[in-house]
């Protein structure tokens, strides 16, 4: 469903941020992307919808990421940004949620019905008609996730989805991720959340894949994690 083959990227004038990154995410698989700050996690996510142009090859649902096919790729990919303020740009939550579906051909009525179902599934129907500038950071994070889900993407990318969430909303997010039957790549420092939601983990350091394996195996490996500036999940201490 999502394939990275020898993906490399460098910012202008800088050292390589990604070096020969190769791994695949299978259909309906949830993979945690972990690593210390600067490991290349966010950069890799941005390469999938073409926000950054990498060398190598990235394939989404059988479509290669290239300039000529970006529109098709972006229909397949839902991307939850690290900062929800960069994602929510309409006056109200419902306006953001229907913007994409309407632009892709749904009627307003169909788009609102789709949005209402997502809001209900997330347990945040109360946010439907709220103004984006009048909701809390945690509420905005959940609304941003709802906006992406309303697009019904094949592949979901999440960049630090649990940041800014209070314990109740964090638990709601974890429960939502666990029940979603979607292909997901989740970049996060919240290793407890990754342990709770993902079956597999890819560890990046210095832009390279250091480890790729079952979530339990990697996140229980204190020596491996500490060698790459990470710590065991709190639940394992």
0.95 exceeded by pTM = no
* Fold type of domain 2-236: Rossmann fold (3.40.50)
Distance CA 164, CA 170 (A): 9
Encode the chain (237 residues) as per-residue pLDDT tens digits: 899 999 999 998 888 999 999 999 999 999 999 999 999 999 999 999 999 999 999 999 999 999 999 999 999 999 999 888 888 889 999 999 999 999 888 999 999 999 999 999 888 999 999 999 899 888 888 899 899 999 999 999 999 998 878 888 888 889 888 888 889 999 999 999 999 999 999 999 999 999 999 999 999 999 999 999 999 998 887
In this predicted structure, what is the pLDDT of residue 164? 74
In this predicted structure, what is the pLDDT of residue 79? 94
In this predicted structure, what is the pLDDT of residue 37? 92
In this predicted structure, what is the pLDDT of residue 168? 83
In this predicted structure, what is the pLDDT of residue 211? 97
Radius of gyration of the chain measured on its C-alpha atoms:
18
In this predicted structure, what is the pLDDT of residue 117? 92
Distance CA 237, CA 188 (A): 19
Q: Is 232 left (phi over 0), alpha (psi -120 to 50) or beta?
A: beta
In this predicted structure, what is the pLDDT of residue 188? 96
In this predicted structure, what is the pLDDT of residue 113? 95
In this predicted structure, what is the pLDDT of residue 31? 98
Burial class (CB in 10 A: 0-12, 13-18, 19+), 57: middle
Question: Strands (DSSP E) along the chain, which ranges?
Answer: 2-10, 16-25, 30-34, 55-60, 63-64, 77-80, 155-159, 183-187, 200-205, 208-214
In this predicted structure, what is the pLDDT of residue 40? 95
How is the chain split into domains, by residue range? Answer: 2-236
In this predicted structure, what is the pLDDT of residue 173? 85
In this predicted structure, what is the pLDDT of residue 10? 94
Query: 208-214 and 155-159 as β-strands: parallel, antiparallel, unpaired?
Result: unpaired
């Amino acid at each position: 469903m999502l394939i990275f083959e020898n993906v490399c990227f460098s910012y202008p004038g800088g050292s390589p941020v990604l070096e020969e990154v190769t791994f695949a995410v299978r259909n309906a698989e949830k993979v945690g992307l972990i690593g210390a700050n600067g490991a290349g996690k966010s950069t890799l996510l941005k390469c999938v919808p073409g926000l950054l142009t990498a060398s190598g090859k990235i394939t989404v649902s059988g479509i290669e990421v290239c300039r000529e096919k970006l529109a098709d790729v972006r229909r397949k990919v839902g991307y939850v940004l690290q900062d929800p303020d960069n994602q929510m740009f309409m006056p109200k939550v419902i306006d953001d949620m229907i913007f994409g579906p309407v632009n892709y051909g749904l009627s307003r009525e169909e788009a609102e019905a789709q949005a209402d179902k997502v809001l209900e599934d997330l347990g945040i129907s109360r946010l439907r008609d709220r103004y984006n500038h009048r909701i809390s950071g945690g509420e905005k994070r959940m609304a941003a996730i709802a906006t992406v889900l309303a697009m019904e993407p094949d592949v979901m990318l999440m960049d630090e989805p649990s940041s800014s969430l209070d314990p109740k909303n964090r638990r709601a997010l974890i429960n939502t991720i666990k029940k979603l039957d979607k292909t997901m790549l989740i970049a996060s420092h919240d290793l407890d959340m990754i342990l709770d939601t993902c079956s597999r983990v890819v560890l990046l350091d210095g832009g390279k894949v250091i480890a790729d394996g079952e979530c339990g195996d990697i996140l229980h490996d204190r020596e491996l994690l500490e060698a790459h500036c990470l710590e065991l999940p709190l639940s394992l201490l």
